[in-house]
Amino acid sequence: MDILDEAHRLATLRLEARTKKDWQEADRLRDEIAALGYKVLDTPEGFSLEVVTYQVLATVNDLKSNSIHFKNNETAVCLLVDGWLTDSLDAITRILQHTTFPIAILDLSQDEELHGALFELSQQHKNRLEVVILNQSLTDVGWALAYNQLIAAVSTQNVVVMDISTLLEGDAISLLREQLSNHIAAVGWKGANVSADWLSFDAAVGAVDALLSYLFIVKRDVFLKYPFDPKAKFYRNADLEWSLQVRTAGFSLYAISEELPCTQGRHHGYHDSDEEYRSRESKRNYDRLLSKFRGNADLLLQRNA
């Protein structure tokens, strides 16, 4: 039996359930039909089936605040996807497998095959996976603005910033979430402390100066007040700049040890980006960081205390 035949069979069962006024069963069957990629329409003759297709937003500004709702309103994982179909699906599937958290994806890949694969996955996980497809590339929008808009759209208490190169092998997100407190605004997998001369950041755990965007959880209200600097077109050093901004506001950041159940895959954002673009935008981010925060000794007190 092909997919259309199966959708037709389920729609017939749904019609019978509606005739019996078994609305709960009718709704369940409607969701099964939707998972197959069809929308069932009630007609005077019975029903008709309509192929569901994904919608594409023209610009990132069309992604409205609080427009993505999940039944679990506590924590949502936010992902930017800009290609790499196999690796993207692997990372997403691992989140679905190892956690119970919903996922919001902003697809900037301009890849029809990836669009279709993500849409199909969202139909299979309707209550947990929301995919927004954008008719702009990540380079066009910029890493920071893309994340700012996605996080503003997701109406959960906490949000997880995560790169597709981070591969879960267990529920690392719950372990991060447990460390959030009144004063700790964000908790991450990999942390860093700024060097005394401000020319580098060194890996660190515990209370840290900065978190890296491989994987961290942050209170959404804090993030909305202190978002990524929209001037950051590229991710590198933008997470450090954001961290120091949050620290300046009086919040603490915390990094859990490398023993979290996750591993590092290929970071396409770094290894597969244009070298000239990567170097230029990374330097711009770091120069902006220095102009804002260098010389602020209070930022280092947490480390030296």
Structure tokens that stand for 102 in this block? 């919903």
From the number of C-beta atoms within 10 Å of its C-beta (0-12, 13-18, 19+), residue 176 rates as buried
Query: Which residue type, as a one-letter code, is found at position 40?
Result: V
> What is the 8-class DSSP label of residue 273?
S
Same domain, 16 and 113: no
Query: How many domains is the chain built from?
Result: 2
User: For residue 15, which of 63, 48, 37, 38 has the smallest C-alpha distance?
Assistant: 48
Task: State the sign of the Cα–Cα–Cα–Cα dihedral 222, 226, 230, 233.
Answer: negative
Planar angle of CA 122, 127, 132, nearest 5 degrees: 45
User: For residue 174, which of 264, 77, 81 has the smallest C-alpha distance?
Assistant: 77
* pTM score of the predicted model: 0.83
Same domain, 22 and 148: no
Q: Is 230 helix (H, G, I), strand (E, B) or coil?
A: coil
From the number of C-beta atoms within 10 Å of its C-beta (0-12, 13-18, 19+), residue 78 rates as buried
The pair phi, psi for residue 76, each rounded to 5°, is: -130, 145
Same domain, 81 and 216: yes
The pair phi, psi for residue 159, each rounded to 5°, is: -130, 150
Contacts of 258 (CB under 8 A, 6+ apart): 189, 190, 205
83, β-bridge pairs: none
pLDDT value of residue 303:
56
pLDDT value of residue 295:
82
Q: Cα dihedral angle (237, 270, 97, 224), rounded to 10 degrees? A: 30
Same domain, 127 and 9: no
Same domain, 62 and 46: no
Same domain, 37 and 60: no
Same domain, 27 and 150: no
Same domain, 72 and 165: yes
Domain range for residue 13? 3-51
Same domain, 65 and 46: no
Query: What is the pLDDT tens value at each position of the chain, 305 positions in all?
Result: 677 888 899 999 999 999 999 999 998 898 788 777 788 888 988 999 877 677 789 999 999 999 999 988 899 999 999 999 999 999 999 999 999 999 999 999 999 899 989 988 998 898 899 999 999 999 999 999 999 999 999 999 999 999 999 999 999 999 999 999 989 999 999 999 998 889 999 999 999 999 999 999 999 999 999 999 999 999 999 999 999 999 999 999 999 976 899 999 999 999 999 999 999 999 999 999 999 999 887 776 555 54
Same domain, 94 and 15: no
Terminal-residue alpha carbon distance, the chain: 67
Same domain, 22 and 91: no
Same domain, 22 and 161: no
